Amino acid sequence: MQSIYGITLLKLEQEMLELGEKKFKALQIYDWLYKKRVSSFDDMSNLKKELISKLKTKYFFESLKLIDKLEDEFVSKFLFKLNDGNKIEAVLMRHDYGNSLCVSTEVGCNMGCAFCESGRLKKVRVLEVNEMVEQILFIENNLNIRISHVVLMGIGEPFDNYNNVMDFIKIINEPKGIALGARHITISTCGIIPKIKDFMKENLQVNLAISLHAPNNELRNRLMPINKAYPLEDLISILKEYVKKTHRRLTFEYIMLKDINDTKECALELVDLLKGINCYVNLIPYNETSHIEFKRSSNDSVMKFYDILKKNGLAVTVRREFGSKVMAACGQLRSHYEEG
């Protein structure tokens, strides 16, 4: 059996034909799932009993169970258990422009970024499509809200789960599905060049964010092992090609680490590295964790860094801080439960 939440509309239409049904039955099912939000085939009142019986033998519904939920004024963090007992997180952030959900794409992560909590617990497996879709459905239902933005910045490297992530995007972007606008979806990657090349060909209006965090190879090698496979000069080259082909503006994420990457010299190197690229830089205050020795940059250091980028013509923002009281660092709540 497979999850009904893991199937794109196109695939479901094909599966209806294979069941001897009309293609439009897939549209009816999608309407029940994503507009009316039923959680049982028996509630799909315009489907014949014969079809409902077929559906029950082929598909199942939910696979997420809530273990814990932590809340702050602007943040709700959810810890879920999957059918196989593994755990993942999702974080809801309330902005003035809407509700943004940070979803997980893997159980654990193999990228091994030195500052990242989720990378300490290695990748167990990728998430299935339905396990990503259900993060949205569960939280909308639990909080009685509409999620307006989705960012793939939770546990895992999205491009390490490429095919499932692409199907996930098709489902949440589908007008007959969750109907989330493509420009309200952001994929964050640490820079897997072959997958960036694939993504360029998808013809999607989805935003791409690059976890950069260092302006030179020496420092990035220390912080992010992926840089040894795909060094900065190669990454920047493909990103320039991406901008030229897609006409989409890039985001570069840069976590501010005290006395590591927050110096004047680093700021000037970053200016040189990103010169001429249609992008903006998002400076991120670091969420410290008990397992990792890095410390957050002072507000003064962040603002001096910001000023250098701004004065040299880079578009730059400082991310509003969220969730330090609810273990909002990526993977922090999960590791708390896994390791006690």
In this structure, the strands spanning 250-256 and 279-285 are: parallel
Q: Residues 289, 329: contact at Cβ < 8 Å?
A: yes
Q: Which ranges constitute the DSSP H helices of the chain?
A: 9-18, 24-30, 49-58, 129-143, 162-173, 193-200, 217-223, 226-229, 232-246, 264-274, 299-311, 332-339
Pick the catalytic residue from 89, 117, 134, 157. Answer: 89
Query: Rg (Cα) of the chain, in Å, rounded?
Result: 21
In angstroms, rounded to a whole number, what is the distance separating the alpha carbons of residues 232 and 27? 45
What is the C-alpha to C-alpha distance for residues 330 and 332, in angstroms, rounded to an integer? 6
Those residues whose C-beta lies under 8 Å from the C-beta of residue 88, and which sit 6 or more positions away, are 79, 80, 82, 104, 107, 127, 131, 135, 154, 155, 334
Q: What does the block give as tokens for 155?
A: 């546990």
DSSP labels, 215-283: SSHHHHHHH-THHHHS-HHHHHHHHHHHHHHH---EEEEEEEBTTTT-SHHHHHHHHHHHTT-SEEEEE
Pairing outcome for strands 87-95 and 149-152: unpaired
Catalytic: 330?
yes
Torsion of CA 10, 15, 16, 17, to 10 degrees: 100
Is residue 174 flagged as an active site residue? no
Query: Which of the residues are catalytic?
Result: 89, 330
